[in-house]
Amino acid sequence: MSKIIITGGSGFIGTNLIDNFLKKGSAILSLDMFEPKKTEHIPFFRKIDICNYYELESAILDFTPDYVIHLAARTDLNGKTLEDYNANILGVENLIKVLKKVETLKRVIFTSSMYVCNPGYIPDGDNDYHSHTVYGESKVLTEKIIKESDPEYCWSIIRPTSIWGPYFGEPYNLFFNIVLSRKYFHMGDKACSKTYGYIDNTIYQIESILTANEEIVNKKVFYLGDYIPYNITEWANEIASEAGFKIPRIPYFLFKCGGLFGDFVKLFGVKFPMTSFRLKNMTTDNIHNLEPIREIAPNLPVERAEGVKRTIKWIKN
């Protein structure tokens, strides 16, 4: 029976990871500032701020884990300065210091973000950064701290792409919310493709990193997502069809006008579904190289259409 610590266990990916490992008989400790999303996870939960070194040290050394999956972070894009994302910087510094004291430790997975690079930017190797937003900049620092400390145990860094599915919240659920509230419209003939990942497939990929041969995963960086890029128009149609309606198509120039209007009202603190920033994200191809993770996790368990059905069922319930 493995002993696994999951930091950020009350979050979207953490909640699904805990469900997965509990089914397999692992002993779990979830460390998070917030209560679990599922009451069944409360017995395994300990309220911890990873920026508090002594709280973190006490929790980890008491549990003596075999594996650690570090998910805890601030992930929204609303922060203005790096200090706003201190959990991503000081938090990982604290964790690395504590884990040096854990003699039972076999392997650690640290979570970064695809936003260490701008959408559409293809990095030339794992150390080529072109950060997107202050959040992305904080994750660049996260990665650099890990690589410079170069822990002696086996470690990997994961960069989840846009992951979706049951228990997702902001910003992961934004696309579903827009489509299901019928605020999404096809932008004329424009369509783009992006790397997204259904949550069960992401869990399978994370577990594969934990169980792969050390030489394959040690000190490596992996993007996580489904292997076939999503055509956004097709995916939106699948979501709408499952919900029982069709998506209308309107001229692209109206979206540009909506984006400019959203930029304007944002100056006065008013939220609008469209901004120029969001429009650029929606129309820029963003396809990541998933071959490294595909080599160790070749057979994703859930097709996209099935994931849509499960997610809409969860939303309705």
Q: Mean pLDDT, to the nearest integer, of 128-137?
A: 95
pLDDT number for residue 120: 83
pLDDT number for residue 171: 77
Residue spans per domain, the chain? 3-160
pLDDT number for residue 277: 84
Considering the chain, what is the average pLDDT of its residues?
95
pLDDT number for residue 216: 97
Residue with tokens 């660049």: 140
Spell out the residues 6+ positions from residue 163 whose beta carbon is closer than 8 angstroms to its own: 12, 13, 172, 196, 197, 198, 199, 202, 224, 225
Q: Mean pLDDT, to the nearest integer, of 245-258?
A: 92
The CATH class of 3-160 is alpha beta
Check pLDDT > 80 for residue 281.
no
C-alpha 310/C-alpha 103 separation (Å) is 41
**Alpha helix (H) residue ranges in the chain:** 12-23, 53-63, 86-99, 133-149, 174-180, 199-211, 214-217, 232-243, 252-266, 276-283, 291-296, 304-316
pLDDT number for residue 172: 82
SS3 157: strand
C-alpha 141/C-alpha 147 separation (Å) is 10
Paired with 184 in beta bridges are none
- pTM, rounded to two decimals: 0.92
Q: From residue 32, give the alpha-carbon distance in Å to each of 76, 158, 204, 268, 300.
A: 16, 19, 22, 34, 29
Check pLDDT > 80 for residue 26.
yes
| Residue % of the chain over a pLDDT of 90 | 84
pLDDT number for residue 21: 97
C-alpha 1/C-alpha 28 separation (Å) is 10
Q: Are 189 and 253 in contact (CB under 8 A)?
A: no
